[in-house]
Amino acid sequence: MFRRVLIANRGEIAQRVIRACRELGIETVAVYSAADADALYLRQADQTICIGPAASSKSYLDIPSIIAAAEVADADAIHPGYGFLSENDHFAEVCKSCKIHFIGPEPATIAMVGDKVQAREIAKKAGVPVVPGSDGKVEDEQRATALAQKIGYPIMIKAAAGGGGRGMRVARNEPSLIAGFHAARAEAEAAFGDGTVYFEKFIENPRHIEVQILADKFGTVLHLGERDCSVQRRHQKLIEESPSPSLTPELRAEICAAAVRVAHAANYTNAGTVEFLLGRDGKYYFIEVNARIQVEHTVTELVTGLDLVQQQILIAAGEKLAFGQDDVRFQGHALECRINAEDPARDFQPSPGKIDLFVPPGGPGVRLDSHCYSGYRIPSNYDSMIGKLLVHRARRDLSIRTMLRALDEFVIEGPKTTIPLHRDILSHSDFRSGDHDTGFVERYFGAHPAIPVRETR
């Protein structure tokens, strides 16, 4: 087992990893930037090292500084958290060459699943459906119409150089495809200097379903059920829950088995997430593998009773999974709201600054993972997350009720937060009935029409 773990991250996830280590009896080294010097979670670490100035490129993303800190502190493992260097295969490789255990998958696995084309091939090899598409660029009008016939309408035209929703358009029939094809090429050429476009089937009003995976170094891969993350805004998840209200037991078993097959095919180790789009017709499609612990891992922790960060550490230290698939039991329903320092009334503008008053909610069924407190100053250099508010109840309707109660109790004075938005979403009939999809938030709570949601964090 590891003696000392360095946490190469900040905020609530740094605190989460410190908590897991302390329960396992492992010493912790917290690294921090000058902007985080006052954060209270640093006091829970056995050792703290300032690694650089506020800019993440010179601190939390600076590989030499983090490795130097690990060497100075004599840490035998590094937990990367999420974001920052968590899915950087080069960093995982550097750790390896410095004889420091990276708590995550092997560098080659990170690289492989991080490449969209390769990940798609792995899924196909594992017999898992992928979104049908052109598998490469579409050169001319003739090819375009023939391909569209084969894939079936509606078709999404995407710029190869685009991303994050940019350079996309939808065609529902041949005339709009031909017009869209030429327009998209010209647009992409102008915007990205590269007019290459490709096609994909457009999955209308999909749901975002992801399956949590745990895989040890002895070839055992288990799934810990799914999370439904359909409540998103511009690819940012706002609410996650498990189990998903839109899966039948049969479909759940099928998707979870598909995720396990993908993990096997990728020789995956440690914790990971396999993401899918679920169409209204019940068809599901693989989108990507996230080779890290995710923000919303907590939802799975509540319904399974497992500590996922502890499991990550145990797996990285070379331990066998101490339980089998049949030992994983799912209990009740868990719901998570991401509380961000953003102003929903002003297009979700970040609202950093001092928290004058912070009164966390509590009581039965409530969990709050947050590094904030009264007097804490949210730095403007990083993401706007204040914390993750979770509830765990016997049924979905009860979870929603407890969450509304907890949101009412939660007092954050100073920055604007997403709490009022969560209240509105939880009260909306589409969410209550579980009939919402990834376009739900923008449809009802934003001025902008829904963009098909694909790449999420």
Partner 1 sequence: MDLKIVQKLINLMERGGVHELELEDQKDGLKLRLKRGAESAPAAPVVQLMHGAGPMNMGGMAPAAAAGPAAAPAAAAPAVPQGKPITSPMVGTFYRSSSPEAEPFVAVGTKISVDQTLCIIEAMKVMNEIRAEFAGEIVQVLVENGEPVEFGQPLFLVKPH
Chain residues that interact with partner 1, rule: CB under 8 A? 31-34, 37-38, 42-53, 59, 63-65, 67-69, 71-74, 98
Is the Cβ–Cβ distance between 33 and 56 less than 8 Å? yes
Burial of 171 (0-12, 13-18, 19+ CB in 10 A): buried
- Helix spans in 8-88 (H): 11-24, 63-73
Q: Which residues contact 120 (CB under 8 A, 6 or more apart)?
A: 130, 286
Cα–Cα dist 293/272, whole Å = 6
Q: How far is the CB of 196 from partner 1 (least distance, A)?
A: 39
Closer by beta carbon to partner 1, 6 or else 157: 6
Burial of 159 (0-12, 13-18, 19+ CB in 10 A): buried
Cα torsion 393, 398, 400, 406: sign: negative
* Strand (E) or helix (H) holding 349: strand 349-350
β-strand partners of 104: none
Q: How far is the CB of 100 from partner 1 (least distance, A)?
A: 11
Q: How far is the CB of 79 from partner 1 (least distance, A)?
A: 17
Going by DSSP bridges, is the β-strand pair 385-393/366-370 parallel, antiparallel, or unpaired? antiparallel
Q: Quick check: is 292 catalytic?
A: yes
Q: How far is the CB of 159 from partner 1 (least distance, A)?
A: 38
* Strand (E) or helix (H) holding 278: strand 270-278
**Nearest to 207, CA basis, from 244, 234, 257, 233:** 244
Catalytic position from the list 120, 169, 185, 292 = 292
Closer by beta carbon to partner 1, 54 or else 411: 54
Is the Cβ–Cβ distance between 393 and 402 less than 8 Å? yes
Closer by beta carbon to partner 1, 6 or else 453: 6
Cβ neighbours, 10 Å, residue 357? 11
Is the Cβ–Cβ distance between 407 and 177 less than 8 Å? no
Q: How far is the CB of 350 from partner 1 (least distance, A)?
A: 25
Closer by beta carbon to partner 1, 98 or else 359: 98
What single-letter amino acid sits at 434? G
Closer by beta carbon to partner 1, 27 or else 240: 27
List, as one string, the DSSP characters of 222-276. Answer: EEEEEEEEEEEETTEEEEEEES-TT--HHHHHHHHHHHHHHHHHTT--EEEEEEE
Q: How far is the CB of 328 from partner 1 (least distance, A)?
A: 35
Closer by beta carbon to partner 1, 31 or else 122: 31
Cα–Cα dist 42/49, whole Å = 10
SS3 352: coil
Q: How far is the CB of 27 from partner 1 (least distance, A)?
A: 9
Closer by beta carbon to partner 1, 50 or else 411: 50
Q: How far is the CB of 288 from partner 1 (least distance, A)?
A: 31
Q: How crowded is the C-beta side of 273, counted as CA atoms within 13 Å?
A: 25
Closer by beta carbon to partner 1, 63 or else 411: 63
Q: Could you give the residue numbers annotated as active site?
A: 292
